[in-house]
Amino acid sequence: MVQNGKTGQACSCCLPPWGREMLEGLDSLFGVEKPVIGVVHLLPLPGSPAYTGDLEEALSRAEQEAMALASGGADGIIVENFFDSPFTRGRVDAATACALTLAVKRVMGATELPVGVNVLRNDALTALAVATTSGASFIRVNVLSGAMLTDQGIIEGDAYGVHHYRKQIMAGNVRIFADVMVKHAYPLAESFDIGTSSRETLERAHADAIIVSGTGTGSMPAIADLEAVRRAAPAAPLLVGSGAARENVGELLGLADGIIVGTSLKRQGRVENPVDVDRVRGLVDAVKALRSRGGDGRGE
């Protein structure tokens, strides 16, 4: 593949039109190559079995973690109802959707970084609604295309429904980042090919970016999976969805265009703890060093 001599990034003139649009869109959204997108794991919200009745506690912690991510140099933030488990397979409760909107607005008030929404387990419609009403920039969809076996049962993607709803609520400016082989899930087909699935998620389900994760929360994706996705869709924005840390970020960003990171940024590296600004700063410094050396996520 012909590459740009300055950054090593694929030359835009050699990419298909949809590839140019997506790549330029990712860079323009975060304002930097290889963005670090920190995760705000919300405490249990109304509608969750674990909700304690203190919504302000959840909102305040979300605000504090957003400020820690911003202070540490993160390039974006994604907010998700992580501690609402066990999750519903379908739409979340209306109270949960309302609380999510309040949380995203609180995060956006604490920082000027681009903010995204992930509504677990796979409620893309609520994520779009929350993003649109709050002004968030993107959503994460665990299963946009195909079907996966999860701890909530079989979850089927509904790309048509997601895009139809995005059009209906005039949310065309909200980007859709879609997982392929999402964590805590298994493909139904024995012959599942992550490269083929990624290309179909882009070209047929019209995702704006692909996310590849490890098998579970905080686990690093297999390098072979990242390589397969890169070969199958060399022009597409590729994000690592779990397991990124200061120690492995060089290897991951040798193939990927950015990282979504939560666990390794927490105190003591434990997902239940608050965000540690020093851990954020350490990871961001490592990524900045890669940028300054022209490290690239595009293979030849």
Report residue 24's pLDDT band, with 50, 70 and 90 as the boundaries: low
Query: Nearest CA to 174 among 211, 112, 127, 238?
Result: 127
How many CA atoms does the CB half-sphere of 206 hold within 13 Å?
A: 11
Domain residue ranges in the chain: 12-288
Report residue 216's pLDDT band, with 50, 70 and 90 as the boundaries: confident
pLDDT of residue 10 exceeding 50, the answer is: no
pLDDT digits (tens, 9 = 90+) for 241-268: 999 999 999 999 999 999 999 999 999 9
Which residue's entry shows tokens 């302000």? Answer: 56
Helix axes 124-134, 94-110, angle to 10 degrees: 40
Across residues 213-234, what is the average pLDDT? 91
pLDDT at 235: 87
Across residues 92-110, what is the average pLDDT? 98
Report residue 13's pLDDT band, with 50, 70 and 90 as the boundaries: very low
Residue 18 in contact with residue 203, Cβ under 8 Å?
yes
CA angle 285, 286, 292 (to 5 degrees): 85
Phi, psi angle pair for 72, to nearest 5°: -80, -10
Strands annotated E in 13-56: 36-41
Report residue 12's pLDDT band, with 50, 70 and 90 as the boundaries: very low
| pTM for the predicted model, two decimal places | 0.90
pLDDT of residue 55 exceeding 90, the answer is: yes
Report residue 296's pLDDT band, with 50, 70 and 90 as the boundaries: low
Across residues 60-77, what is the average pLDDT? 98
Q: 12-288: which CATH topology?
A: TIM Barrel (3.20.20)
Which residue's entry shows tokens 């860079």? Answer: 27
Provide the β-strand partners of residue 175: 138
Residue 213 in contact with residue 179, Cβ under 8 Å?
yes
pLDDT at 45: 98
Peptide linkage before 204 cis (omega within 30 of 0): no
Across residues 98-108, what is the average pLDDT? 98
pLDDT digits (tens, 9 = 90+) for 133-184: 999 999 999 999 999 999 999 999 999 999 999 999 999 999 999 999 887 8
Residue 205: strand, helix, or coil: coil
